[in-house]
Structure 1
Amino acid sequence: MNRNDLSDLAAFAVVAEEGSFTRAAARLGMSQSALSHAMKALEDRLGLRLLARTTRSVSTTEAGQRLLRTLRPALDDIAAGLAAVGELREKPAGTLRITTGKHAAVRVLWPVLSRFLTDYPEVQVELSIDSSLTDIVASRFDAGVRLGEQLEKDMIAVRIGPDIRAAIVGAPSYFAQRPVPCAPQDLAGHDCINYRFTTSGAVYVWEFEEDGHPVNVRVSGSLVSNDMDVIMAAVLDGRGLAYIFEDEVAEHVAAGRLVRVLDDWCTPFPGYYLYYPSRRQIPPALAALVDALRYRL
């Protein structure tokens, strides 16, 4: 393999990931025309068409997909080797890309990151807020943050927060017209604000527990949303009952803006974990972040 092959293969992987010559060229720090020429030269040397080009996007052909599946592990090994060399530096440096949900980002990550970024000025953290269960390997993230019950078994997971409880809440104006539910089954007679998952399209089933046994209830109401800020605004306006993490409604409950019900049915469940792929060499910046985020009772 000559030097051009290696650099062109790495560039091909970036083009395939970005699906755009413009974005890939910006990421690689080269002109779009130079990148397009390099990809054409690579295809000519291999005698195969790797990329299908349109006026708006770029996608991989079947041959390109097969090559990409072979390339990614090799490029990961190279990246890990470079990271290992980087350990010789005194301070962690570089960019860490992390996928996380909004609640975890605000309540768990940011209080730690605020100090971490001061302690490690050569580290840049990119947070991608996404409620879906992103494949961090395929999407080239360094790590992800999800609830303990949502983790994939082949990942290294580090606990970064306490157990979490949900709260069923409604505004006083809502309860002025409706009775207080005494059990999850009573929710059938209430206007409940539902949350719809962005990726699967499924509506969240409200989860409770009685004597160690799960009790799941499908609720209905006049509003469904995939954004918790909208649900919070709606419940404060008296539009119905909402199922929200208790730390997000604690101030509203204390101030009397919301009333909490079915408290005894809402038991704690595993909190947030930082997870990342198993590697022989973990990048120094990620190792420092793991240590900073690690939950200590």
Structure 2
Amino acid sequence: MKQNFTVRHGALDGVETFLSVARYRSFRRAAAALGVTPSAVSQSVRTLEARIGAALLTRTTRSVGLTEAGQRFLDRAGPAFDELVAASEAARDLGQRPTGLLRLAVPRSVVPLILEPVIASFCEAYPEIELEIAASDEMVDIAARGFDAGIRLGELIAADMIVVRLTPPFPFHVVGSPDYLRGHKPPARVEDLRDHACLRLRRWNGSIAPWTFAVGNDVIEAAVSGPLIAHDYPTLLGAAMQGLGLAQVPGPIAEAAIADGRLQALLTSQAIMTPGVFLYHSGKRQMLPKLRAFIDHMKAPRRMAAEGG
């Protein structure tokens, strides 16, 4: 059987007009409510009746009534049309003000680094937004999985995404605790890492991430070994602070521990730089006010810091 691949037009044509006539029991009052002429109302109802194949209204010079078919149509179409109107209003509401469910896909390491400092203030500023954070290091197709946006390192974002910078570029540091380094000579070269316990990261796809360094104009990868494999950077950072071994982690999550002496940065002259952390989404046309509010809120702390606020 030949399939019809065209979209059927006009399935709802005349329905609102019929419901208005049925409500007012008057073509003239229905026309006034709809802002059209009585003749336009009459024509719209006749077209609907012809498409359905049954008379829906009885008309006299004094009154308008419902046929049995019209009553059945009213009983079913009335509530359905009200649901359509409510659905349109709900969608319009999402498009006009910050409200609704905001779903973000983020790596685990980004949560303490980027999100924790602003979650409470954002939820307080926008009480009509429900914020859902899906923390996973898996590379997520945000459109296919129903996310409003994602957060990633810049080099991991697809080229067709709209990106918003959340952090400046930063290095990946090799760090070790004072306790660990008291029993092990600090590495002076990348090659020295073979003599150290190196804590490693397993990527979302199952592979072990090599340690990466900048040596002159070249980027080199070092295959290291050690007693622990973790699936996120905060776990590696915690293990390094406990003296289990060395870890290579994003600079921002190690800054506080380096500053207060719980960790020491090593091989700093060969630290590789990353573009930074970015929020990404599918395009400006699809950006709803809830996402715009989140982006503006995320930018505010950096703007205040830059202004000395």
TM-based fold match above 0.5? yes
Code of the residue aligned with 1:248 in structure 2: it is I
TM-score normalized by structure 2?
Answer: 0.64
SS class of match (1:182): coil
Alignment counterpart, residue 236 of structure 2, candidates 231, 235, 239: 231
CA distance, structure 1, for counterparts of residue 235 and residue 110 of structure 2 = 17
Q: CA deviation at 1:279?
A: 5.5
Moved more, 214-223 or 252-261: 252-261
Sequence identity, in percent?
32
Q: CA deviation at 1:206?
A: 0.9
Residue 183 of structure 1 aligns with which residue?
Answer: 189
Alignment counterpart, residue 109 of structure 1, candidates 111, 115, 118: 115
CA gap 1:113/1:235 in 2 versus in 1, 3 angstroms = closer
SS class of match (1:256): coil
| Contact 1:167–1:245, Cα closer than 8 Å, also in 2 | yes
CA distance, structure 2, for counterparts of residue 127 and residue 260 of structure 1 = 31
Write out the 4+ residue segments of structure 1 that deviate beyond 6 Å after TM superposition.
81-84
Moved more, 249-258 or 140-149: 249-258
Residue 93 of structure 2 aligns with which residue?
Answer: 86
Alignment counterpart, residue 120 of structure 1, candidates 123, 126, 129: 126
Q: CA deviation at 1:84?
A: 7.0
Q: Kindly tell me the number of residue pairs found equivalent between the two proteins.
A: 218
CA distance, structure 2, for counterparts of residue 173 and residue 110 of structure 1 = 29
Q: Does 1:219 align with 2:233?
A: no
Matches within 5 A, 1:2-151: 85-86=92-93, 89=96, 91-151=97-157
List gaps (5 residues or longer) in structure 1: 4-80
TM-score normalized by structure 1?
Answer: 0.66
Code of the residue aligned with 1:213 in structure 2: it is D
SS class of match (1:193): strand
Q: CA deviation at 1:192?
A: 0.7
SS class of match (2:123): helix
Residues 238-258 of structure 1, C-alpha deviations (whole Å, 9 max, x = no match): 221111222323333333332
List gaps (5 residues or longer) in structure 2: 1-7, 13-87
Residue 171 of structure 2 aligns with which residue?
Answer: 165
Q: Does 1:245 align with 2:250?
A: yes
CA distance, structure 2, for counterparts of residue 107 and residue 120 of structure 1 = 21
| Contact 2:198–2:247, Cα closer than 8 Å, also in 1 | yes
Larger Rg: 1 or 2? 2
Taking only aligned residues, the RMSD between alpha carbons, in angstroms, comes to 2.4
Residues 23-52 of structure 1, C-alpha deviations (whole Å, 9 max, x = no match): xxxxxxxxxxxxxxxxxxxxxxxxxxxxxx
Q: CA deviation at 1:284?
A: 1.3
